[in-house]
Structures are given as C-alpha cells and as structure tokens.
Chain A
Amino acid sequence: DTGVSQDPRHKITKRGQNVTFRCDPISEHNRLYWYRQTLGQGPEFLTYFQNEAQLEKSRLLSDRFSAERPKGSFSTLEIQRTEQGDSAMYLCASSGDGLSYEQYFGPGTRLTVT
C-alpha cells in the first residue's frame, strides 16, 4: 500500500496525559499537512510542512501541541496535557511538489480523552 498511513488508528487516554501520533506520507510527497476533525464538521487545518520545515501553524495549534518532521519523511504530532476538548479525529495528508495541490489523506487517528 503506497498511500498515507497513520498510527495508531485509535487512542484512548486520560485527561492530562501526553499522546503522540505518527504519519507516514506518500513517499515522493514533500508537503505534509495535519488537520483535526470533530463530529459533524469538516477537517480544520492545524499545520503544514514542506520537507522538514514547518511553514505554517493554525491558531488552533495551542502551545500544548507540537509537530515535527525531522528528516522530511514521517511526521509526529504530540499533544501534551490532553483535555477532553482534544477528542477528535486527527488527519494527515500529503501532496507533491509543484503546482499540484491535490492532497491525499490517511485514515486518521481517533483520539478519545476521558
């Protein structure tokens, strides 16, 4: 399978715990995006990487959230001191270079904070 993969698919954690999610983009794609989706809503942009550089962050990304893409390949999204409001589907997408902005999404990581 050469699509975008995410791990874990589901995560249940207690409030106050830290969690980390991983995204592996399509191998030749140098753009990587994180989005968050809550029930009944469309995905909302969180952050964007071009290769290893984090070039844009949303205001939604509080200081409890941090994302990395250390070698320009896979990316991690960490949430510290989780809150119940962090419960959502976290989606990763990737796209290639150039003028094509077509983004391909992974299956998502569903986070439940109890």
Chain B
Amino acid sequence: QKEVEQDPGPLSVPEGAIVSLNCTYSNSAFQYFMWYRQYSRKGPELLMYTYSSGNKEDGRFTAQVDKSSKYISLFIRDSQPSDSATYLCAMISGNTGKLIFGQGTTLQVKP
C-alpha cells in the first residue's frame, strides 16, 4: 500500500464548476501538506501549503485537512480552462522535508 493515495482520474468538468480533489494517507507522522499543479512537461508549481487541520483559502483555492481521518482535499471554485492540469498532493516526511507525493489527478476544464 502506498503511503499517499490519490485517484488519477481523469476528471472532466465544465467551466465554472466546483472541483474537489482528494488524497488519503496512512502515515500519521505527516504534519505538512501541500498541493502542487503541474502542466504537461513542466515542473510542479506550489499552490497551497498547510500544516494544521481545517481549511485554508487562497483566492479560488481552498485546502482542507482532516488529520483524524488522514484525508486532505483541494477545492477549486469557478474552475477555468486554464486550471486544466495535473494536481499533486504531497506530504512532508521526516525532518529533512522530503516530499511524498500522490500519483496526481488529471483535471480537464471544458469551456
């Protein structure tokens, strides 16, 4: 079993929809949680970073962490075609800061 599970999709939604992306994890030692966006053949781009249970909002993006359920989510409001990308959840393991990634979910927002 992988430490971080993420449904690879693909997920296709119409423009303007609310998108929900999710990851589950098995290691209760994970304390820091990140979401990255990756366009095709590009490096991952940091979207959100959080370390506590609850919600964190940044513009159209909301990151949600539930440590008791070992479950994190990323919500995208008013989705745009430019949001079409692969979304990767990642968690910090140990005190070196190395990231453990999910497989990534491919999102397509149709105009």
Contacts and interface: CB of A to CB of B under 8 A. Distances in A.
B98 A108 contact: no
Given A101-B92, A102-B34, A45 B99 contact: yes
A105 B98 contact: no
Contacts of A6: 43
Interface residues of B, number: 26
B74 interface: no
A43 interface: yes
Contacts, number: 65
A17 interface: no
A17 B96 CA distance: 32
A68 B101 CA distance: 24
A42 interface: yes
A101 B96 CA distance: 9
11 contacts: A6-B43, A33-B97, A33-B98, A41-B103, A42-B102, A56-B98, A93-B99, A103-B46, A103-B97, A104-B46, A107-B43
